Amino acid sequence: MIPLEYNMPKLPRANAIKHIAAFKRAGWIVNHIEGSHHILVKAGSQIHLSVPVHAGKELGIGLLRRLIEKADMTQEEYCTYFSKKK
């Protein structure tokens, strides 16, 4: 039997701005900025996502996985939003 992790798509490595754009395509909006963290919210949800934005640095894969999970998306859904243009 193949472990579940091998059936999941490879998450994209990119800076936080590109990941924020993907969450926006999924219906999230930037509510406000606290220091270097962009706080995203979605209508009808009590959840907020805090995405650190640091110039020249990629968003860590572990953090990205937690954000996707917190946003109640699958990795496949997220990759679809990430690969869309506008």
- Check residue 51 and give its pLDDT: 98
DSSP state of 28: -
Cα atoms in the Cβ-side hemisphere of radius 13 Å centred on 12: 18
Contact 15, 32 (CB under 8 A): no
> Which residue positions in the chain have pLDDT lower than 50?
none
**DSSP string covering 42-58, please?**
-TT---EEEEE--TT-B
User: What are the domain boundaries of the chain?
Assistant: 13-83
Overall fold of domain 13-83: Metal Transport, Frataxin; Chain A (3.30.920)
pTM recorded for the entire structure: 0.87
pLDDT of residue 85: 76
